[in-house]
A and B are shown apart, each in its own frame.
Chain A
Amino acid sequence: MTMDMISQLSFEEAYEELEEIVTKLETGDLPLDEAVELFERGRRLSDHCQKVLDEAELRVNKLADDGDLEVLE
């Protein structure tokens, strides 16, 4: 299991890991302490996903003729 700082994860990374955790918990006959630890991480990943979604602001760029991206106000 990756033990990255959850707050550093992108929404997709966090969501993907959350799905992995659910699968593991669903299928694996894990030792209790590991299951509890996974569950805790799952919870925090979910919180993080929600936070990222809630706080996200649409990024809009303009593609110039030469392929450069310009920030569009």
Chain B
Amino acid sequence: MFDSVKTVAEITDYISDLFDTDPTLKNVWVAGEISNMTRASSGHWYFTLKDSDAAIRAVMWRSATERQTVTPHNGDAVEVHGKVSVYAPRGEYQLYADIIRPVGAGDLYQQFERLKVKLEMEGLFDAERKREFPAVPRQIGVVTSPTAAAFQDILNVLTRRYPLVQVILSPTMVQGQSAPPQIVQAIERLNDHTDVDVIVVARGGGSIEDLWAFNDEAVARAISTSRIPIVSGVGHETDFTIADFVADHRAPTPSAAAELVTPDKRDILLQLGRTVEMLDGMTYDTILTRRTKLERLQGTMSYVSPENTINTNRQRVDDFNARIIRQQKSRMVLLRERLVAKRAALEAANPRAILARGYVIVTDDAGNRITSERDAKPGTNVEMQFKDGKKKAWIRGDDDGYDQPTLL
């Protein structure tokens, strides 16, 4: 049966297939003690898992070692999860590991899962149970240990973000056997004696055992029945506790919880600035609107104002004045012309001028002018006025002869 002769590679492939198709070997937890641990520079870990009776070689690739929270050392009792398969070059089977955890952690994990399922079935994680808290709290209750770094972290955040808030610490131990009942009491104390706006239940990071009090059923129930909304801030970002699921809000860390329950002072100051700007704008608008209205009214006013009539009248008066002045002026000219004419006439009528032309004025003794022949009777004494003097004379007779001898 030469047909049945197989190469080493062929038989190794065949064995390898048997391992890889076996349901138990594909997905198994193996408990043992670590030895021969080698951490290669490539990031892979090579070690042997052994107990008193047997040993199995194991390898964990870098993709898995990077995800491990604990670094195992020789002598550690651990539980390793992975698949058992064949390493063909050496013809060896080995455990290809993806999870390593300390012995006992498995029990805690199962407890955790059982309680989680139980409370979830009761509806304690339901979204509609989650309550809101005021965006701007007056008082914040803090359930934690007064000596914990977590408490100082919270105070630092509150001082920086919103120092107006009052902090009421309800002190408790946060790890160890007595921690769960103390945490329950601390929550109840805040509910019984205060009216804080929100409670922060906090603890800093640690191992799964350190955080275990927050996976306690009594603690979970105290959180779910709290009258006051509760924010959890337990451990690091990657840690999830039952308290986180039951709380109204889960914050990844104590500091984050303090941030979650307070507004930021800087935001408020910014908002204040914007409000004042808005006030400024609104007041400016109010004034501008009124000014525009006022200016429009003023326009209308000047249109209908009596001032226009007054101005028109004023102009009329001015015109009138000008006319009067003009008239006055021409009148003066006229009068002056008249005066000149009169003076000429007067001048013309000046008796002296007549005398100058050779005429003589004759008057009787009484001084009456004799202008008619009939008044010049013969024998009448007269006075003759020449241009340059007077002479006495006597009327001798009529034209046709002498009535009497006339001699003076």
| Given A35-B286, A61-B169, A63-B190, also A12-B279 (CB < 8 A) | no
Is the CB–CB distance between B275 and A46 below 8 Å?
A: yes
The answer for the CA separation of A36 and B276 in the assembled complex, in Å, is 13
| Given A25-B282, A72-B146, also A59-B272 (CB < 8 A) | no
| Given A12-B136, A32-B287, also A58-B167 (CB < 8 A) | yes
Please give me the residue from chain A that is nearest to B279 by CB atom: A42
Please give me the residue from chain B that is nearest to A68 by CB atom: B193
Name the residue among A21, A57, A58, A61 with the largest chain B CB count within 10 angstroms: A58
In the assembled complex, how far is the CB of residue A31 from the closest CB belonging to chain B, in whole angstroms? 10
Range for the number of chain B residues in contact with chain A: 35 or more
A residues less than 8 Å from B155 (CB atoms): 58, 60
B residues less than 8 Å from A36 (CB atoms): 283
The answer for the CA separation of A57 and B159 in the assembled complex, in Å, is 7
Is the CB–CB distance between A39 and B282 below 8 Å?
A: yes
In the assembled complex, how far is the CB of residue B310 from the closest CB belonging to chain A, in whole angstroms? 32
A residues less than 8 Å from B193 (CB atoms): 63, 67
Q: Check if B379 is an interface residue, CB within 8 A of chain A.
A: no
Is the CB–CB distance between B146 and A62 below 8 Å?
A: yes
Interface set, chain A 20-57, CB cutoff 8 A to B: 21-22, 25-26, 30, 32, 35-36, 39, 42-43, 46, 49-50, 52-53, 56-57
Q: Check if B268 is an interface residue, CB within 8 A of chain A.
A: yes
In the assembled complex, how far is the CB of residue B147 from the closest CB belonging to chain A, in whole angstroms? 12
Chain B interface helix/strand/loop/mixed: helix
B residues less than 8 Å from A22 (CB atoms): 275, 278-279, 282
Please give me the residue from chain B that is nearest to A56 by CB atom: B163
Q: Check if B168 is an interface residue, CB within 8 A of chain A.
A: yes
Range for the number of chain A residues in contact with chain B: 20 to 34
A residues less than 8 Å from B276 (CB atoms): 42-43, 46
Q: Check if B265 is an interface residue, CB within 8 A of chain A.
A: yes
Is the CB–CB distance between A32 and B189 below 8 Å?
A: no
Interface set, chain B 105-160, CB cutoff 8 A to A: 136, 138, 141, 146, 155, 158-159
Interface set, chain B 156-183, CB cutoff 8 A to A: 158-159, 163-171
Partner of B169, one of A32, A35, A56, A63: A63
* Per-residue interface assignment for chain B, residues 267 to 301, with 1 indicating a CB less than 8 Å from any chain A CB and 0 otherwise: 01100100110111011001100100000000000
Please give me the residue from chain B that is nearest to A32 by CB atom: B290
B residues less than 8 Å from A30 (CB atoms): 286
Partner of A50, one of B159, B190, B272, B286: B272
Is the CB–CB distance between A63 and B189 below 8 Å?
A: yes
Name the residue among B189, B190, B265, B286 with the largest chain A CB count within 10 angstroms: B286
Q: Check if B194 is an interface residue, CB within 8 A of chain A.
A: yes
B residues less than 8 Å from A25 (CB atoms): 279, 282-283, 286
Is the CB–CB distance between B283 and A53 below 8 Å?
A: no
Is the CB–CB distance between A26 and B136 below 8 Å?
A: no
B residues less than 8 Å from A39 (CB atoms): 279-280, 282-283
The answer for the CA separation of A25 and B283 in the assembled complex, in Å, is 8
In the assembled complex, how far is the CB of residue B228 from the closest CB belonging to chain A, in whole angstroms? 13
Q: Check if A65 is an interface residue, CB within 8 A of chain B.
A: yes
Is the CB–CB distance between A53 and B265 below 8 Å?
A: yes
B residues less than 8 Å from A59 (CB atoms): 166-167
| Given A53-B265, A62-B169, A63-B190, also A21-B163 (CB < 8 A) | no
* 15 contacting pairs across A/B (C-beta < 8 A): A19-B275, A25-B283, A32-B286, A35-B283, A39-B280, A42-B275, A46-B279, A52-B164, A53-B164, A58-B159, A63-B170, A63-B194, A67-B192, A67-B193, A67-B194
The 3 closest A-B CB pairs, nearest first, are A67-B193, A56-B163, A39-B283
* New contact pairs (9) apart from A39-B282, A53-B268, CB-CB < 8 Å: A22-B275, A22-B282, A30-B286, A56-B163, A59-B166, A61-B167, A62-B169, A62-B171, A69-B168
